[in-house]
Amino acid sequence: ITGEKFLKGLKDSWEDHILCMNMTTDVLMYMDRVYCQDNRKPSIFTTAMGLFRDHILRSKLASSEADLITFDILNSVILDHIQMEREGDVIDKNLIRSCIYMLEGLYETDEENENEKLYMMVFEPEFLRASRQFYQDECLKLLRESDAGSWLRQTQKRLVEEADRCRTTISQLTESKIAQVVENELIGSHLQEFIALEGSGVK
């Protein structure tokens, strides 16, 4: 519940910022077109996006002893919710998607390089790292407790789940990468051990 409140608060702040930014951009349209372009300055829109990135998402938490920033909490909460969903819980996909959409619309710098969206630079690497650990643990559990048939069914189920998650909750930019993680951790890493399971029929 606390995590959902955090995500909702951040989402509301982002939407309020976008609304104010659009009005400000309209008011400063002439300055944007004449001064910013002539002097090779970032546009008002770009500058306003950067303000949210630098002063909200990158702000340090005053009450934290560690050097935590808002980004750290955002990543942690989203990854916790995805872990919960993988374990069978119901989560608010639309709320998470709204926060992911925010990260897709922000860039590492005001140069707005397409390869440096915050989603790809900040969230996706942590998502793939956490997913890799989750599937490593799941694979070991399957080896201990299941037969090869169950392993194959679970692997297929997880591939479908992750593809659906990329379409509905996070981003399709990640679909091929998370599929590779599932294939590596649930199939490739212990393939010979699953084939060797007694009575598996895989051979």
**pLDDT at position 32, please?**
74
The two structure tokens encoding residue 200 = 């598996």
Phi, psi (degrees; rounded to nearest 5) at 200: -75, -30
The C-alpha torsion from 103 through 114 and 35 to 102, rounded to 10°, is -10
**pLDDT at position 31, please?**
78
**pLDDT at position 14, please?**
94
Q: State pLDDT tens for residues 142-185.
A: 888 888 888 889 999 999 999 999 999 999 999 999 999 999 99
Q: What percent of the chain stands above pLDDT 70?
A: 95
Q: For residues 96-114, give the mean pLDDT.
A: 91
203 pLDDT above the threshold of 70: no
Q: For residues 3-32, give the mean pLDDT.
A: 89
Per-residue confidence band for 76, with pLDDT thresholds at 50, 70 and 90: very high
pTM: 0.88
Q: State pLDDT tens for residues 34-52.
A: 777 777 778 888 888 999 9
Q: How many CB atoms neighbour CB 18 within 10 A?
A: 15
The C-alpha torsion from 98 through 105 and 28 to 20, rounded to 10°, is 20
19 pLDDT above the threshold of 80: yes
Query: Three-state SS across 171-202?
Result: CHHHHHHHHHHHHHHHHHHHHHHHHCCCCCCC
Q: For residues 22-31, give the mean pLDDT.
A: 83
The two structure tokens encoding residue 48 = 């306003």
64 pLDDT above the threshold of 60: no
- Name the DSSP class of 108: S
Phi, psi (degrees; rounded to nearest 5) at 197: -60, 135
